[in-house]
Amino acid sequence: MRAITVLPGLAGSVRLDERPTPNPAEGAILVRTLLLGVCGTDAEIVSGYYGAAPPGAERLVLGHESLGEVVEAPPDSGFVQGDHIVGVVRRPDPVPCPACAAGEWDMCRNGLYTEHGIKELDGFGAEYFRVAPEAAVKVEPSLGDLGVLIEPASIVAKAWDHMERIGARAKVWQPRRLLVSGAGPIGFLAALMGRQRGLDVHVFDRNRDGPKPDLIRGLGATPHHDIDDAVALAPDLWVECTGAPAVIAKAFTATAPAGILCLLGVSAPMRVEIDLGALNRDLVLGNRVVFGAVNANRDHYLSAAAALAQADRDWLVGLITRRVPLRHFAAAFRREADDIKVVIDFRK
Ligand SMILES: [Zn+2]
Ligand SMILES: [Zn+2]
């Protein structure tokens, strides 16, 4: 079978390899890959900044945003041939730490977790992969190709889960306004879940043209191109997806009293001058919370799948802006101007 592999740490090492079909020891369910989503994490691995091969292996099979079709599954697994599934990316650490032991591997405390296509586990970027039943999530058939959005949506479902739990520290918490900074796939999915909760949603993004402003309006949300206009909204919730230090510096104290800022973007190191005294005062006197969130556990995949199933299909389709056939896979890692979600089609 063909598989997209990299030599972690070496830029430009990505290639299409011929590999044996996976061994049953890797999981009882055999899956044929339909689509693979590509994101910033993959781009970082391809650029040599990130990623680790499985122990004893030189190369890593890339890919963590999967959509596949079950080829074979044990009778008691809850899966049957033809089911569409998504593989869970992170697996619990072997110790395990208290979080992993409780199925909350997204909150792993010792950092010894593994991740398909990222850290010490081969990814889903192969024509076939295997998963254990507990590491597979069933996709509603009517979602079709949109099931490939479940993994990125799981990250956002976790952000919402945690924002709502933080909000519950107050006896009464009725957020009205959400600001999302950064209209990439994560930002759009955060805005979607905000609309599904009946919030007044605003999305900041520098792009004035291309498909993004219409997609934002299509959700019943308001686009903004000037960060200061966005800050003036004093949102109850701010989901930050740009990772841009200039945006984050403003976001820290821009939420309404009792506001919550959730950081989802990963930044490169950059020094920005901030008044830490004023920042501390605004956080304390406003009961404001700033927190980071990464990855997702199984519950988040399930709520992501439910959120996508309830969303307008025509709107969701607009998030997949480019499809690259497997033989041209390298094109998927080259960014183009109007890209939102780029997927590699393993059927072509
Ligand atoms: Zn991703
Ligand atoms: Zn752990």
Q: Which two tokens stand for residue 228?
A: 């200061």
Protein residues within 5 Å, CB atom, of ion ligand 2:
93, 97, 100, 108
| 120 C-alpha to ligand 2 centroid (Å) | 15
pTM of the model: 0.96
| 186 C-alpha to ligand 1 centroid (Å) | 9
| 132 C-alpha to ligand 2 centroid (Å) | 18
Say how far apart CA 20 and CA 203 lie, in whole Å: 45
Among all ligands shown, which has an atom nearest to the Cα of 149?
1
- Percentage of the chain beyond pLDDT 90 is 95
Among all ligands shown, which has an atom nearest to the Cα of 96?
2
- 37 close to 323: Cβ distance less than 8 angstroms: no
| 283 C-alpha to ligand 1 centroid (Å) | 31
Q: Hey, which bits of 231-310 come out as E strands?
A: 237-240, 260-263, 289-292
DSSP per-residue letters across 141-207: GGGGGGGGGHHHHHHHHHHHHHHHHHHTTSSS----EEEEE--SHHHHHHHHHHHHTT-EEEEE-S-
| 118 C-alpha to ligand 2 centroid (Å) | 16
Which pLDDT tens digit goes with each residue over 287-303? 999 999 999 999 999 99
| 76 C-alpha to ligand 1 centroid (Å) | 31
- Percentage of the chain beyond pLDDT 70 is 100
Q: Which residue has the tokens 């950092």?
A: 111
Say how far apart CA 110 and CA 179 lie, in whole Å: 33
**At residue 269, does pLDDT exceed 90?**
no
Say how far apart CA 223 and CA 225 lie, in whole Å: 7
Rg (C-alpha) for the chain, rounded Å, is: 20
Q: Determine the pLDDT at residue 348.
A: 82
Q: Determine the pLDDT at residue 174.
A: 96
- For 222-231, b/e burial (b = at least 16 CB within 10 A) is bbbeebeebb
Length of the chain: 348
| 82 C-alpha to ligand 2 centroid (Å) | 33
**At residue 76, does pLDDT exceed 90?**
yes
Give the residue-averaged pLDDT of 57-79. Answer: 97
Give the residue-averaged pLDDT of 45-52. Answer: 95
Tally: H helices and E strands in the chain: 10, 19
Name all domains of the chain by residue range, CATH numbers in brackets. 2-138+318-345 (3.90.180.10), 154-292 (3.40.50.720)
**At residue 268, does pLDDT exceed 90?**
no
Q: Which two tokens stand for residue 121?
A: 């586990």
Neighbours of 273 (CB within 10 A): 6
- 190 close to 157: Cβ distance less than 8 angstroms: no
Amino acid at 89: V
